[in-house]
Structure formats: structure tokens, C-alpha cells
Structure 1
């Protein structure tokens, strides 16, 4: 229902407009307070790159963060990642992730980023504290913030906005009548636009999510996607239909598709009940970081990687690497 409201297909969005106007007013006042100097943003001693979005959930932001960290590392930079840690609750903040950190503590996306990249990751509701904790460890020359485009308390040197290429901006209204955290005019002030899975418009870098082989949660055995039969597909991400569409595009016909809420917390019984007999359960990698501690033998996950056109990717990385080169510390 919420997708139909935000797309404008359902008239109920009109009833929510007063709340949207209030949301928009508060957002505008917050940003204005920083622009006029009424509130001061904290600036790190190294460049900060924000990877965020204008709409709520499911744009492909986390794969972009993973791609960016890996690409910068290949160029000899030492990136680290900060996140709010949505869905996690640590005993104390800032929380520095290690191999024992659980999604219940840090949130699923920070754990996934840490596992995929091996880069230092810190979470805190106050991103300034997470950045300071990372810098105290040393050997870091650039900070990537996972989300946080609207977190103006942290000064940034470069802003990347990831756009859902298929849903774009829905009906264009602020939450809750529409999907917008800020209006589309905000795009004029950002440094780069990445279009995930749609026709890139002028000034946008096209991106697609490329699936790898399916990986068993218990054994870590990898198999081609089409080698797994009788699949029940599940996804607890911002936009589950994208995962199901990816499976169908690669020749898989799930016997059942089960969407969950983004950042859903799972129980063993809940997931075991999804399959019967010889059926195999296939989930996203983000779901797998939460389900691996009680995984069954018939559970698999599908990792995906962000892929950008080489020339545009290289130009984007050049601009970001130049931030480090021009830093006062160099």
C-alpha cells in the first residue's frame, strides 16, 4: 500500500499532505540553520564523502558504499566507514566493529560493509563521534559515511546521491505523503548522481547490481544461481521486488516470494517455516548477516556488486582521490 501511495497511484497521499508540509518545514529549517551559521557543523581532519539518497529506503546505497571502499583501497587510499547503525543497539557508542560484532549491536548494513570490505567501520547516532573514534586509530585518510545526506551536523567534502532508476522520486512529496526526505531540487547542490537500475538522465552515472553465485549459509559453498532448484525467495530490504526481479532476470522462477520489512529481525523458527521438503531458501546478503547464526543446510544467499561504466567510475574516483591529495594533512 505504501508503494502505491508514494507513487501517486492511490489518492490517500493527499490526506497526508499536512504532515508532509510539516516535515518539509522542519527539514528546511534544519538545513537553513547550518547555512546561516546558527548551528555549527563539525569538520573532520580528513575528507568526508557522503553516500546518501533523497528517498526512503531501497535505492542501492549500501552496494555503492562497498564498491567505493573497495575501489579507493585499490588506489592505495585507506578509507573507513561511519554509519548511524540503524536497527542495532549497542551498550555504548561509538561502536567499533570487529568480526564478533552482531547486527543486533551495530545494525545489518554496517556489519555487511565490514564483512565485505574489511575496512574499519564505526557506528554511532552521532556520526561525529564515530568519525573521531576512527581517526583516533590512525592510518585513515578518507571517511565514507553510509547514509547521512541529511545529517548536517557532520561537514562533508563530497556528496553522492543514489537514485532508484525505476521508482525515481514517486509523487515527489516529503514523507509521509511521498518518499522524499528532501525535494528533488537538492540534487543541484550534490557532487555526483548514481542511477541504480534505470535509464540514466543527464548528469547521472548509470549503475547496475550484478549478482554473483549463490552461497550456502552453513558451508559457504558457492553454486551458480540456476543450479538451485525449488527456490523460496525472501528479502528484508528497502525494496524487496528488486531482489525478486533480479532472480527472474537470471532464469530463476521462485515457487514463492516472501517480502519482509527493511532491517527485519528474524527468528530461526520464522525462517524454517518458509520452506518444506526439498525447497531451498534464498535470501539477500543483508538478510544473511542476521540469519547465519542459526542457518539451516538449505539456506542460501545471493551477493550483488555495484557495476559502473569504467570511464565514469574512474572519473568519479579521480575526483574523490583528489580530496585526499588536497587535504591539509598531505
Structure 2
């Protein structure tokens, strides 16, 4: 089937999907489906699309912001892709970065909210990937939109990557455009116009994913300068692999080859052997590079005879930070 015809078929298939989503949202809006309201303040961090928009760095940024103000905060997530330890890769990564922030992973996030309230004495809950999880009411809805994504992906499933249409932003209070450093001003302007068409009162912030260092297992790190001009193999199992590879290239890395696995992939012994064979097939390699989300699952200092490094990336709010912090300050002002 020609690619143009396939796109048309997928767009038509988006219509029944839109009907299901619209009916569900209407049921919540009219009160036919009920949301549980916790006694704690709830901040949801979510997105309109499937795939990686940078939720983990955003959750980490918010948790750090709250902890700097001495607020007790817990993270609630569904825990998709849990490993044998009972945690998934995102939980392991956040635990490394935020050792004093509990991370409760369970399919029933209402139960997790009650646990955080009654047993952990928390004040604020961060609902990870929560925009579509409407069973738990929230006090602030933050929606992330990846500015680096192709416009073709900004259509409803299965014709694109959107879980919900842009009109759903009417129930959000904040939108953060992520990876703005990998998008043109024209693309960002078009996204801004599209968002404001549906919600003119929404707070909009722009952010980039700023690389800070390279971690080497178990507890070493090197500066980004150590990567400049080096020949590397890169692999990852994340929702937005192209952004990771683009970041490495922007740091002056010569990418000899790259590999990807599905998001949340649990690396097996066979996978490790494949990686070792990969390094043996490519001569004169200085580094094997991955994300910290991959690194926490592998916990290795080398792949074969080549150093394994994890690129550490943090969220940097480059525009609209003051307005975002005003929203957060107003929300937590009444915390006990």
C-alpha cells in the first residue's frame, strides 16, 4: 500500500478513537465518572502524546523545587515495565537523583495517594504521566509537548502519536514545551498558536534538556568536555531516542553507530553479549554511551573493553520560569 494511502487509512481509524476519548472525558466532566480527591496537593505531569516528552527530568525538577522549600513530596506512578526489583527504570533513575523523595509505583494511584497521606505524612504528590489518569483529582495539571517532534505526529492515534486532541488542554493550567533547543523558532511559534487556540489562559514555559555530565559506574563522573571529538557507539531504550543521539552529536561526539530498544526494555544477558560483540566489530571506539535510564539497569562500567558512560540530562526552564513558579507557589502556600 502506498505510504499516502496508509496515512489516510490511519487518519480515518483515528475517528473511532476520538469518539472513545471524547466520551470518557465527557463522563468525567459531567460527573458520571468520579475522581477521588486527596487531602494532599496533587500536581500532575503528563502529555498529550505517547513516547518520551521529558517527563522524568520534569518530575525531578519539580521534586527538587519542592524539596528546596522543605515540602514533603512523593512521586506516584503506574510503574510500567517493572524489573525484578519491583521498580522500573524511571524509579531507579529518580531514586538515584532524589534519595529523599519516596516513589510509590502501583497501578492504583488512588491507593498510593492514601498511603502517602496516611502512612508517609507527605504534603505534595507528583502524579507522573497523569494527564489521562483522571481517577485521581489534581490541583495543577502540567502538560508537556515535545517541540522537536514532527508535525505529522501531532495527530490522534493511530494516525499520529496523540493520546488526546489539543482541545483537551482546556483542562490544563500549564504547558511546557520541552526540547526547545532542538526546534526552530517557527515550530515553537506554531505550537504556541495551536495551544492558545484552545486555552488562552494557560501558563506556557519553554524548556531544554541540558546535558550536565557523564556518569561512569559505580560512582564516577567526567565532564562533557571528555566527549568532544571522541568516537562512540550509542544505544538506548527510551521514548525519544533521536533526541538522545542529537544531543550527543551537539556535544561533538562522533557517532560511529547507534542502536535502540523499545522504551523500558529490560536488558538481558543476551543483550549485553550483543553489545560486547558490537564493540568488537567497531575498531577504535573511545566510549559506549547510553542514557541514565539505561545505565541504572545495566550497572556496568564497561561494555567489553570499552568504557560505558551515561549522559546525565536535566531540565532547564529557559522561558516562563517566573510564571511557572508563581503557579507552584500559589498551590503550595496552604500546605500544612
The alignment status of 1:57 with 2:51, answered yes or no, reads yes
**2:109 matched to which residue of 1?**
127
**1:237 matched to which residue of 2?**
238
* Deviation sequence 1:41-85 (CA, Å, 0-9, x none): 111111111000001111111111111100111122111100011
Q: Which runs of 5+ in 2 are unaligned?
A: 193-202
Cα contact 1:169–1:179 (8 A) shared by 2: no
The alignment status of 1:114 with 2:114, answered yes or no, reads no
Cα contact 2:14–2:156 (8 A) shared by 1: yes
Deviation at 1:318, TM superposition (A): 3.0
Q: How many residues align?
A: 306
**2:326 matched to which residue of 1?**
318
**2:156 matched to which residue of 1?**
174
SS at match of 1:307: strand
Q: 272, 276, 296: which one pairs with 1:289?
A: 296
Cα contact 1:50–1:145 (8 A) shared by 2: yes
* Deviation sequence 1:166-186 (CA, Å, 0-9, x none): 216535432111111100112
Higher strand share: 2
* Alpha carbons of structure 1 residues 134 and 15: separation in structure 2 relative to 1, 3 Å: same
* Deviation sequence 1:229-253 (CA, Å, 0-9, x none): 3311112111111011101111111
The alignment status of 1:87 with 2:81, answered yes or no, reads yes
**1:93 matched to which residue of 2?**
none
Q: Trace 1:34-73 onto structure 2 (pairs within 5 A).
A: 34-73=28-67
Q: Distance in 2 between matches of 1:270 and 1:192?
A: 43
**2:250 matched to which residue of 1?**
249
The alignment status of 1:137 with 2:152, answered yes or no, reads no
**1:275 matched to which residue of 2?**
279
The alignment status of 1:186 with 2:185, answered yes or no, reads no
**1:94 matched to which residue of 2?**
none
Q: Distance in 1 between matches of 2:252 and 2:83?
A: 39
Q: Distance in 2 between matches of 1:321 and 1:120?
A: 22
TM-score by length of 1: 0.85
SS at match of 2:74: strand
TM-score by length of 2: 0.84
Q: Distance in 2 between matches of 1:11 and 1:204?
A: 36
* Deviation sequence 1:120-139 (CA, Å, 0-9, x none): 11011121112122223333
SS at match of 2:235: strand
The alignment status of 1:30 with 2:24, answered yes or no, reads yes
Q: Trace 1:217-232 onto structure 2 (pairs within 5 A).
A: 217=217, 219-228=218-227, 229-232=230-233
Q: 317, 322, 334: which one pairs with 1:308?
A: 317
Q: Distance in 2 between matches of 1:67 and 1:185?
A: 27
Q: Distance in 2 between matches of 1:205 and 1:10?
A: 35
Cα contact 2:45–2:142 (8 A) shared by 1: yes
**1:98 matched to which residue of 2?**
none
The alignment status of 1:162 with 2:141, answered yes or no, reads no
Cα contact 2:204–2:320 (8 A) shared by 1: no
Q: Which runs of 5+ in 1 are unaligned?
A: 91-101
Deviation at 1:11, TM superposition (A): 4.5
SS at match of 1:237: coil
Q: Distance in 2 between matches of 1:193 and 1:257?
A: 32
The alignment status of 1:206 with 2:206, answered yes or no, reads yes
SS at match of 2:320: helix
Instruction: Supply the RMSD in Å over aligned alpha carbons.
Output: 2.3
**2:263 matched to which residue of 1?**
262
SS at match of 1:82: strand
Q: Distance in 1 between matches of 2:83 and 2:253?
A: 36
